[in-house]
Structure 1
Amino acid sequence: MTPTAAVVVEGAYELAEGGRWCDGRYVYVDILSGRLFELRDGRDGRDDPGPTRLARLDVPLGAVAPVSGRPDSWIAAAGTGIALLTPDGALEWLDRPEDRTPVPSRMNDGVADPAGRFWAGSMAYDGTPGAGSLYRADPDGTVVRVLDGLTIANGPAFNADGTTMYLADTAVGTVLRCRVDPLSGGLLGSPETFAQLRDGEGSPDGMTVDEEGCLWVALWGAGAVRRYHPDGRLLDTLAVPAPHPTSVCLLPGDTNRLFVTTARYGVTNPTAASGAVLSVPVPVGGTVACSWRGAL
């Protein structure tokens, strides 16, 4: 695939991430600065009013998902745990499990599944191998550690019926596929390797599943996005004009646009496309982000 990427937002973000389509708007974060943004009327990548900052936290903000029935409220992977982010920008913590880890750590990417649970990964600030975990926030507010022994848990993404979860361990170049019981949220068996990136191919970061069930993966360090068939076959590779793409979001409907967040972090000579939001024409659409169905 060789479409041309357009810069939608020249944000100069250090680490933009977590792009999702929610309630007719595109939302994303700048992790290290703890900021949450929305972009409205940008489905064609042009003539939009620019991003609006929705919140600024005093802790890193990895990703958010909307809360069902609570407009402008979010469940957030933030700081050392998972919290509710209220419309006035306050955090109501469900749990801060990374406070109890042996090395300084933070939460990273996260997403809600079709059953209304929220899943989020963690990582050590210094990238300590095996220090990362995957957590699940159930509708009753309980936070459960689902997997440990990861290094940089990234990009949870679910298929349409919530029975398959894809999870990246960025530091080791692996995309895992996990079978999920949609009723309990438990994993069925051990995760299996879905894709293994080799040296020079980049590291898997944020991910999403398109309307045809194929997985899109942002490749940190490679300036590319890959699309995989559910059987693991590599279908396409899309180049983007920034070395560190971090998350991917396919807009729903017939607009066939891919939004890609990128980072300036670690880039020696950044351009306008580094630390930006990019828009790329693609041949398939996505779906609206799922909500957390908490009963709090």
Structure 2
Amino acid sequence: MTGTVREEAPATADDGWRPCSSERYQLGEGARWHEGRLYFVDLLRGALYSRAPGGGPGRSRREAGLGVPLGAAAPVAGRPGEWIVAAGPGVALLRSGGEPHWIARPEADAPHPRRMNDAACDPRGRFWATSMAADAAPGAGSLHRIDRDGSAHRVLTGLTVPNGPVFDPSGDTLYLADSARGLIAAHAVAPASGELGPARPFVRLGPDDGRPDGMAVDDRGRLWVALWGAGRVHCYDPRGRLCAVVPVPTPHVSSVAFGGGRMYVTTARHRLADPDRLAGAVLARPSPVTAPPVACYRPDLR
């Protein structure tokens, strides 16, 4: 990795980060900016939350709960308040206060317990969700694609702790992290079918860099990576060169998003023997970076 390393915005004494609310989550994940609100999940609690910017130190709004681990959610186009979620052993449609409608449960019959992990939609309206072994067994993870007609496809196997997934603004490139291996790969995506090209190594992180977790792509096509265990967010240009490092004042940084003139990160208390006061907080700081609107799932109603 080459190139000038600089801060994304001028740092203050505490790097400008402020908690968005009073809660501390066990495993915050899946930050998404959508229609003027920040949405995120507490994975282990199985709940989806939202927060309006500038809402003061009060509590976030609980949008829905599933009773099983909830890895990530994406809005459904044309259906306000409805989400497609990667949760438990599969993928479901969910409305606030309602029961989940399961589209697929690809890991329900796994020989050893598995659960869904991170997920996102591509710009063409398909939903991509990762899964992993409950004990993070090497090679037991997969990437699944839910097409607009609701059909489910296991498109990659042999992963361990897959995170991301995110797409460049055109939707022609998928970035996928395998956190356990410290590797971020890039795949070409066939526009019509969603078929993936071979993995191309994009970034390989060293043992002192933390583990790549949730990611976001900005309007310039740069990849922003939350680094679990390192208390940092890295930014890479489309050629994989490190171009920005943003310190975060707690170690387990799990996802990143941009919206409303701010940069947001989720963090976790999970697996910290002595959590600091900001561990598990959703944090925000002013940022000039802009990003495409969060992609929605677009069910084919024909």
TM-score by length of 2: 0.92
The answer as to whether partners of 1:10 and 1:273 remain within 8 angstroms in 2 is no
Deviation at 1:200, TM superposition (A): 1.1
The answer as to whether partners of 2:23 and 2:59 remain within 8 angstroms in 1 is no
Q: Name the counterpart of 2:150.
A: 141
Deviation at 1:192, TM superposition (A): 1.0
Aligned residue among 51, 54, 59 for 2:68: 59
Q: Name the counterpart of 2:4.
A: none
Deviation at 1:182, TM superposition (A): 1.6
2:31 corresponds to which letter in structure 1? G
Q: Name the counterpart of 1:222.
A: 230
- Report SS of the residue matched to 1:171: helix
Deviation at 1:50, TM superposition (A): 3.9
The answer as to whether partners of 2:168 and 2:217 remain within 8 angstroms in 1 is yes
Deviation at 1:48, TM superposition (A): 7.1
Segment of structure 1 superposing worse, 229-238 or 84-93: 84-93
Q: Name the counterpart of 1:15.
A: 27
- Report SS of the residue matched to 2:20: strand
- Report SS of the residue matched to 1:121: strand
Aligned-residue identity in percent: 48
Measure, in 1, the Cα distance between the counterparts of 2:292 and 2:279.
Answer: 26
CA RMSD of aligned residues (A): 1.3
Measure, in 1, the Cα distance between the counterparts of 2:180 and 2:244.
Answer: 23
Q: Name the counterpart of 1:262.
A: 267
The answer as to whether partners of 1:7 and 1:272 remain within 8 angstroms in 2 is no
Deviation at 1:214, TM superposition (A): 0.2
Q: 1:215-273, CA deviations, whole angstroms, 9 ceiling, x for partnerless residues?
A: 00000010100000001100011110111000000115xx2x11000000011221231
- Report SS of the residue matched to 1:100: coil
Measure, in 2, the Cα distance between the counterparts of 1:207 and 1:82.
Answer: 20
Q: 1:169-192, CA deviations, whole angstroms, 9 ceiling, x for partnerless residues?
A: 00110011111012111112x111
Deviation at 1:46, TM superposition (A): 5.8
Measure, in 1, the Cα distance between the counterparts of 2:57 and 2:193.
Answer: 41
* 2:300 is the counterpart of 1:291: no
* 2:174 is the counterpart of 1:160: no
Deviation at 1:135, TM superposition (A): 0.5
The answer as to whether partners of 2:22 and 2:58 remain within 8 angstroms in 1 is no
Aligned residue among 69, 72, 84 for 1:75: 84
Q: Which runs of 5+ in 1 are unaligned?
A: none
The answer as to whether partners of 2:255 and 2:265 remain within 8 angstroms in 1 is yes
Deviation at 1:143, TM superposition (A): 0.9
Q: How does 1:67-106 map to 2 (within 5 A)?
A: 67-106=76-115
Q: Which runs of 5+ in 2 are unaligned?
A: 1-6
Q: Name the counterpart of 1:169.
A: 178
* 2:256 is the counterpart of 1:248: yes
1:226 corresponds to which letter in structure 2? H
* 2:190 is the counterpart of 1:192: no
The answer as to whether partners of 1:56 and 1:89 remain within 8 angstroms in 2 is no
Deviation at 1:88, TM superposition (A): 2.6
Measure, in 2, the Cα distance between the counterparts of 1:261 and 1:184.
Answer: 33
Aligned residue among 128, 131, 134 for 2:137: 128
The answer as to whether partners of 1:206 and 1:247 remain within 8 angstroms in 2 is yes
Measure, in 1, the Cα distance between the counterparts of 2:202 and 2:128.
Answer: 19
Deviation at 1:122, TM superposition (A): 0.8
- Report SS of the residue matched to 2:292: coil
Measure, in 1, the Cα distance between the counterparts of 2:224 and 2:22.
Answer: 23
Measure, in 2, the Cα distance between the counterparts of 1:82 and 1:223.
Answer: 30
Q: Name the counterpart of 2:51.
A: 39
